[in-house]
Amino acid sequence: MISCKKDSDDETTTTSTTTYATIVTNSKDTTVTNAVTIAYANNIATITNPYESSGVTITNTNGIVTINSTTASTEINYVISGSTTSGSVKIYSSYKFGVVLNGADMISENGPAINIQSSKKATFTLVGETNNRLIDGSTYTASGTEDMKGTLFSEGQLVFKGSGRLIVKGNYKHAIASDDYVDIQSGIISITGAVSDGIHANDYFSMEGGSLNISSSGDGIEVEEGYIRTTAGAMTIGSVDDGLSTSYSGTESTVDPSVYLNGGIITITNTGSEAVGIKSAGATIINSSDAIKVTVTGSAAKGFQSGKDFTVTNAALTIATSGGAFYDSTDKEIESASGIKVNGNFLMQKGTITIASTGTGGKGINADGTLTINDGTVTITTSGATYTYGSDDTSAKGMKSDGNLTINGGTISVKTSGTGAEGIESKSVLTINSGTVECVTYDDAFNATSQIVINGGNVYAYSTLNDGIDSNGTITITGGTIVSSGYTSPEEGFDCDNNQFKITGGTLIGVGGASSSPTTSISSQNSVLFTSAATVNQVIHIESSTGTNIFTFVVPRAYSKMVMLFSMPGLASNTTFNIYTGGTVTGGTYFHGLYQGDTYTKASTTAAASFITSGLLTSVTK
């Protein structure tokens, strides 16, 4: 079978002749108003047409049925039942109409099984407990200038309802296609294969209920000049190209090529190079607690790709990408996989997002604009290493934004293990105001081009071979609890080179082979730089000379020379403090090695070192 997903609509695709197993249609004795019946048996169509004198003309040539309705006020229902291996139905109508599939098994030898050459709405009703199947021919013979794009094709709107089952296979191009919109309200629809798209619509696609299962060699669902919206139901898609796709590239302001996921269980699996699970040419808006699972395999594949802003009001997203990066010689840039790629701004209000990426250069969330998380749970794991092409390269990252990256709440966990992989990066300002943010990475855990600001929350940074928190500009800390661990010299727990490092509040501990020093002219909270050798899991305890417990810390790795920067409100001015090492600790609050309010038992009554906070920055060496 030959597949050309983006071919023009008039290109013919051929396949070998296939014999299909019979199905049990289970037709029902059903009463339908305004009914014209078409009953197939032994490839012969028997037609009952009570509207012959009212504008409904029907021709029947060996089971190939053509209907021409000129009625302008009556909504005729064409009831199709029975089986044919060489039949088809074509409908011309000047008024909206219905098609009732009452156990119809239609296999066409040439062209669509059902071909609607009318711009009016066609409502398909799947009769409960019936099985229906539509299969087209592998070749289409053109009929003048008529458009034919799939097994079930309509020039107008397509609406599906009922509780029966419909099976569709597209041997020529699409399985279901409309030059207007497709709306699934209910029913069980299975697209068992399509040379191109499973469902192809022009104006929009809507799913309000029912069950939809698609297997296609092109897109699962593509809309050319409109949006995709889901509100309920269950959708499963296995495709080579995109799962859901709005592909409009024009400039008409009246066209909305966005994706709205407002409900429904969605499971998408893609296997093609640069394939996207859910691709929007416009914005992406998600407001649903139903599970959405996207798995993409292929070079530079993406779970979501949004042409404009990506907004999550509520979500339960699980995304997995496993394709590596490559150099695009046409665009002259490196393309890499992403769980979520946003050409605009990313905003999350609440919900859960879980992303796993295994390819080189893979990103968890990658926004060209700002990236803001107000609440919710985000868990990102990447294992890919840096991809290099000539003098250009791209490394794996958990979260990256070209604009400001702001975390106002929620629980964020980022883990990266590939060579050069970073945790959370902003090409502008990275701000944490609240929430719990934890990064365990190979390279920098937190990185910003202009500034890192921490006003609150619980922040943990651990880098295997680089800095814990690294700003190429300034660092400002006004609140929160921060534990940062950098590698041995010259890497640092806090690194802002020689730029301003302002501390006015919060509880922070940073360990590494070195550390940037707080700028005393703009800081207002006392800080200490403690230099000493340390062993892995060594206990370091700070208390005042009167025995007031300040904190206890368990060193996460061995240092031949450790520089520990710590600062917290309990470090009163002009006060003597003692540093003890070893011993045991119980109780208290615990955050990645930092104990507060604990009970500490000394290994020795002799302090390893002592210091007096005579200024905003005190240095002490053991």
* pLDDT surpasses 90 at 189: yes
Amino acid at 347: L
Which residue in this structure is represented by tokens 């190429």? 472
Contact yes or no for 364/398 (Cβ under 8 A): yes
DSSP string, 509-539: EEEESB-PPP-TTT--S-EEEEEEEE-TT-E
* pLDDT surpasses 60 at 259: yes
Q: How far is CA 292 from CA 143, 315, 354, 361, in A?
A: 42, 8, 10, 24
Residue 387 backbone phi and psi in degrees, to 5? -105, 130
Residue range 522-534: mean pLDDT, rounded: 98
DSSP bridge partners of 91: 67, 116
8: confidence class by pLDDT, cuts 50, 70, 90: very low
Rounded Cα gap, residues 105 and 617, in angstroms? 83
Residue range 292-312: mean pLDDT, rounded: 96
**3-class DSSP string for 474-517:** EEEECCCEEEEECCCCCCECEECCCCCEEECCCEEEEEECECCC
Contact yes or no for 422/447 (Cβ under 8 A): yes
Q: What angle do CA 343, 358, 412 make, to 5 degrees?
A: 65
Residues above pLDDT 90, as percent of the chain: 88
* pLDDT surpasses 60 at 388: yes
Amino acid at 145: T
| pLDDT given for residue 7 in this prediction | 40
* pLDDT surpasses 80 at 315: yes
| pLDDT given for residue 9 in this prediction | 41
Rounded Cα gap, residues 338 and 25, in angstroms? 44
Which residue in this structure is represented by tokens 């520990």? 564
Amino acid at 259: V
Among positive and negative, which fits the CA dihedral 331, 337, 376, 352?
positive
Q: Which residues contact 480 (CB under 8 A, 6 or more apart)?
A: 432, 454, 455, 456, 457, 458, 459, 506, 507, 508
Residue range 504-509: mean pLDDT, rounded: 98
12: confidence class by pLDDT, cuts 50, 70, 90: very low
1: confidence class by pLDDT, cuts 50, 70, 90: very low
* pLDDT surpasses 50 at 407: yes
* pLDDT surpasses 50 at 78: yes
Contact yes or no for 502/520 (Cβ under 8 A): no
CA-closest candidate to residue 517, choices 614, 617, 613? 617
Number of other residues whose CB lies within 10 A of the CB of residue 543: 19
The helices-and-strands tally (H runs, E runs) of the chain is: 0, 65
CA-closest candidate to residue 353, choices 316, 405, 406? 316
445: confidence class by pLDDT, cuts 50, 70, 90: very high
* pLDDT surpasses 80 at 495: yes
| pLDDT given for residue 327 in this prediction | 85
Which residue in this structure is represented by tokens 């919900």? 351
Among positive and negative, which fits the CA dihedral 275, 276, 277, 282?
negative
Residue range 575-587: mean pLDDT, rounded: 96
Rounded Cα gap, residues 99 and 83, in angstroms? 16
Q: Whole-model pTM above 0.85?
A: yes
Residue range 494-512: mean pLDDT, rounded: 97
| Per-residue tokens: 614 | 């005579």
Rounded to a whole number of angstroms, the distance between the first and last alpha carbons of the chain is 74
* pLDDT surpasses 60 at 10: no
